Amino acid sequence: MKRKIALLLVFVLMFATFAAGCAVEKVDNEEKQESSNSQDSDVIKIGVFEPLTGPNAAGGALEKEGIELAKELYPEVLGKKIEVVYVDNKSDKVEAANAATKLIDQEKVSVIIGSWGSGFSISAGEVIKKSERKVPAIGTSCTNPLVTKNNDYYFRVAFVDPFQGKVMANYAYKEVGAKKVAFIIEKTNDYAVGLAKFFEDTYKELTGDENAVVYRAYYQTGDQDFTAQLGNIKESGAEAIFAPGNFTESALIMKQAKELGIELPILGGDTWETPEVIEIAGEAAEGVVFSTFFDVNAELTDTTTEFLEAYKAKYNKEPAAVTALAFDAYLLALDAIKRANSTDPEAIRDALEATKDFPGAAGVVNFDENGDAVKAAVIKTIKDGKFTYLTTVEPN
Partner 1 sequence: MSKKTKLTLISIIACIGILFILNSTLGSYQLRILNLCGIYVILALSLNLINGFVGLFSLGHAGFMAIGAYTSALLTMPPEAKEMNFFLKPIVPWLANVQLSFPIALFMAGVLAAGAGVLIGAPVLRLKDDYLAIATLGFSEIIRVIFTNTQSITNGALGIKGLPYIGIFNKASEAIWWTWGVAIITIIFMALLINGSYGRAFKAIREDEIAAEAMGINLFKHKLMAFVIGSFFAGIGGALLGHLMGTIDPLMFRFLLTFNIVLIVVLGGIGSITGSVISAVIVTIAMEALRVLDGDMQIGSYIIKGIPGTRMVVFSALLMIVIIFYQRGIMGTNEFTWDWILKRQKKISEPLNKEKVS
Partner 2 sequence: MALQTILQHLVNGISLGSLYALLAIGYTMVYGILRLINFAHGDIFMLGTYIAFYSMTAFFLPWWISFLIAIIVTCIFGIVLERAAYRPLRDSPRISVMISAIGASFLIENLAIVVFGGRPKAFPIPTIFSKILNIGGVSIVSVSIFIPIITAIALFILNYLVNNTKIGMAMRAVSKDYEAARLMGINVNNIISFTFGTGSILAAIGGVMWGLKYPQLIPLMGLMPGLKCFIAAVVGGIGNIRGAVLGGFILGLGEILIVAFSPTLSGYRDAFAFVLLIVILLVKPSGLLGQNTTEKV
Q: Which residues bind partner 1 (CB under 8 A)?
A: 2-3, 5-7, 9-10, 13-14, 16-17, 19-21, 23-24, 28, 52-54, 57, 88, 90, 93-95, 97-98, 101-102, 105-106, 119, 122-123, 125-127, 129-131, 144-146, 149-150, 187-190, 192-194, 197, 220-221
Choose the one of partner 2, partner 1, none that binds residue 8, judging by a C-beta under 5 to 8 angstroms depending on kind: none
Which span (115-123, 154-162, 275-283, 304-312) binds partner 2, by CB under 8 A? 275-283
By C-beta, is 52 or 240 nearer to partner 1?
52
CA distances from 198 to 96, 180, 395 (A): 27, 16, 15
Choose the one of partner 2, partner 1, none that binds residue 21, judging by a C-beta under 5 to 8 angstroms depending on kind: partner 1
DSSP state string for 202-265: HHHHHHT-TT-EEEEEEE-TT----HHHHHHHHTTT-SEEE--S-HHHHHHHHHHHHHTT--S-
| Coil, helix or strand at residue 293 | coil
| Coil, helix or strand at residue 53 | coil
Choose the one of partner 1, partner 2, none that binds residue 228, judging by a C-beta under 5 to 8 angstroms depending on kind: partner 2
Phi and psi angles of residue 162, each rounded to the nearest 5 degrees, phi first? -55, -40
Query: Of 58-87, which residues contact partner 2 (CB under 8 A)?
Result: 58
- Choose which of 29, 36, 150, 224 interacts with partner 2 (CB under 8 A): 224
- Choose which of 30, 205, 209, 276 interacts with partner 2 (CB under 8 A): 276
Other residues' Cβ atoms within 10 Å of the Cβ of residue 27: 13
Nearest distance from residue 192's CB to partner 2, in Å? 12
Residue 228 contacts by C-beta under 8 Å, 6 or more apart in sequence? none
Residue 323 corresponds to which amino acid?
A: T
Query: Could you tell me how many residues of this chain bind partner 2 (CB under 8 A)?
Result: 34
243: left (phi over 0), alpha (psi -120 to 50) or beta: beta
Residues that bind partner 2 (CB under 8 A): 54-55, 57-58, 187, 215-220, 222-225, 227-229, 231-232, 234-235, 248, 251-252, 255, 258-261, 276, 279-280, 282
